[in-house]
Structure 1
């Protein structure tokens, strides 16, 4: 796996004091692609288009079906307004759909419920993508809104086409659960990649440590912080759904939601474990750097200690206080008697060498040379 890249954040387009309920499309929004899946126990009917007409035609053709309307892309204010008018959706809900910085949540209204999740995944360039996924659930109808054109629910569509499990018979509440559970499952995939990256960094730490280890680990830690900021409200959202008495969330759906709640707890445990590992890697790397610096200082200290007395001796004999005045030949009291000694230079070097050897032997016995 290549290195995980720095997390990129998108700025909010909303201005301070904007009117509540205003639909403001993000600058990088994509044109919507609409897919309608109308299903019951006997059949599945699909249709695709780009405007409200495809939805209305499908409603007219499949009156006794449950409908999943999948909208990929949000760059169409008229479509949002038409959906709000036709289905009588509160403008505040439409605002939350297009303001793609919402935290996971669950809101109840008179005849529908609204929920938000976050789609987190690594793209082909290993950049962390954080997109909003919103759903509106009404009787026999669920509308999902996604920011991208990517396919994230192929498994759900395969189950729908194969009529596996209760997906065709348990109503739109079950479809909402299935989509949310798929999103939570992608968190496990993302955490598996982070775990592999942490293992790779740990291997580098023991074999070829350098400062990039700290940078890569810090980037993983930022990713884990983002995940933690998402999974906690996601858990609270599922808990709110479990506690609601809304008829759109049946007892059968709640049974499956308990499993999704357990998955959320598992994700949160993994995030906390990996955060501890990232902290340990950074601390261990800094400790290794400190130990390496201490070893370097130890070597320099030993060299300095050996040469200090030698420098002292060389300094004394470098003062050149002659024993005899070269002009008057008069003997100078308390001056160096060794200055004109035969072979004095050799004797001084031998003495300094012996002193250095003695110091090395003493340091060796004290264990100063251990693991230099």
Structure 2
């Protein structure tokens, strides 16, 4: 779907014809959402976009920023978490967005829906004065800004997942929790692969030596760059939290195993002397001068049982005093 807008301080007009929109006075913004190959080729022909830049958008390569003679090209990526928010099985879904900033025109090409760009288009249609009067480089900044703002929403959802996992580690560390921890860790790594190159691209746009980014607009690009620096720092912090949570889980699991082994060891230790007594009195040889006299004693059996019970009680008391149980 191709959406062409031409605007200046006087107002906004929509165009169906790309050539007419390109030739109209004012700032021309052409956005191609969920772009087909034919639509991308039509826009590329109208604005003379370099084939390599178009291929970068089609092939979803690493985010980047480059300067051409007639325009500045930036490839960034939208990001969102797919699947339900209540599951830990979510994945980072990224889609490329090509931003071409010319002298008096702007072209944005998205292979997906890029819903965030629609919010900027709506602001233009409503007559946002800052967008209507400041040219294509400022509109490009707003597009990049809303894309980066969406990154924070993704990060907030990841933070909620980490908090839920931390609560589970403390309350009920079960066998499935390790899979949840590893899933969130993979999401953080995937998100970092999206954010880090976009930060590098914004660094190029904000450095102050690009012909199509005016001096007054550079500070806005630097603001977006600062947001990305903050995002990268938060990602590193959250990744450390996940690693720490995994260590806590493994320690808790090890501690639980140690507690079970300690109980089993205490039980086995209590039964060792009892088993020895039973084994000794099980050797009931008959017709010998060396037979145990207790075998013919009337109270031998209850006496042995009482002795064994006494040994068990003494050992339990000792283990409790030593805090083994």
TM value normalised by structure 1: 0.81
Tell me the residue number matched to 1:249: 213
Aligned-pair distance for 1:244? 4.8
Output the CA distance in 2 between the equivalents of 1:155 and 1:148: 15
Moved more, 89-98 or 263-272: 89-98
Query: 1:126-165: CA deviations, max 9, x gaps?
Result: 5432111111222211111112235222432243234435
3-state DSSP of counterpart to 1:250: coil
1:123–1:256 CA distance, 2 compared to 1 (3 A) = same
The residue number in structure 2 matching 1:212 is: 176
Match of 2:13 among 25, 40, 45: 45
Q: Show the counterpart of 1:267.
A: 231
- Are 1:120 and 2:120 counterparts? no
- Larger proportion of helix: 2
Q: Which residue of 2 aligns with 1:167?
A: 131
- Are 1:97 and 2:53 an aligned pair? no
SS at match of 1:262: helix
SS at match of 2:312: helix
CA distance in 1, matches of 2:313, 2:65: 79
Whole-angstrom CA distance in 1 between matches of 2:185 and 2:160: 14
- How far is the alpha carbon of 1:124 from its aligned partner? 5.9
Q: Write the deviation string for residues 206-250 of structure 1: whole angstroms up to 9, x where unpaired.
A: 223323322222211111111211222211111111225222111
2:48 to 64, 82, 88: 88
Query: SS at the partner of 1:338?
Result: helix
Tell me how large the CA RMSD over aligned residues is.
1.9
Change (3 A) 1:79 1:361: closer
Tell me which residue corresponds to 1:28. none
| Cα distance between partner residues in 1 of 2:50 and 2:297 | 107
**Equivalent residue in structure 1 for 2:296, among 321, 340, 349:** 340
Q: Aligned to 1:277, which of 241, 249, 273? A: 241
Maintained 8 Å contact 1:170/1:252? no
1:146 aligns with 2:105: no
Which residues in structure 2 correspond to 1:351-370 (within 5 Å)?
351-369=307-325
> CA–CA distance in 2 between the matches of 1:165 and 1:287?
58
1:108 aligned residue: 67
Give the alignment's TM-score, normalised by structure 2. 0.92
Check conservation: 1:116, 1:133, Cα contact below 8 A. Answer: yes
1:350 corresponds to 2:306 = yes
Check conservation: 2:78, 2:114, Cα contact below 8 A.
Answer: no
Q: State the SS of the aligned residue for 2:133.
A: coil
Shift of 1:196: 1.7
TM-aligned CA deviation for residue 57 of structure 1: 3.4
Q: Secondary structure at the match of 1:166?
A: helix
Task: Note if 1:187 corresponds to 2:155.
Answer: no
User: Does the residue aligned with 1:153 lie in a helix, a strand or coil?
Assistant: helix
Higher deviation after alignment, 216-225 or 347-356:
216-225
Q: Secondary structure at the match of 2:297?
A: coil
Q: Which runs of 5+ in 2 are unaligned?
A: none
Structure 1 spans left out of the alignment, 5+ residues? 1-32, 49-53, 325-331
Given that residues 159 and 238 in structure 2 are in contact (C-alpha distance below 8 angstroms), is that contact kept between their aligned partners in structure 1? Answer: yes
Moved more, 112-121 or 333-342: 333-342
Aligned to 1:68: 29
Task: Say if 1:346 and 1:194 are closer, same or farther in 2 by CA, change over 3 A.
Answer: same
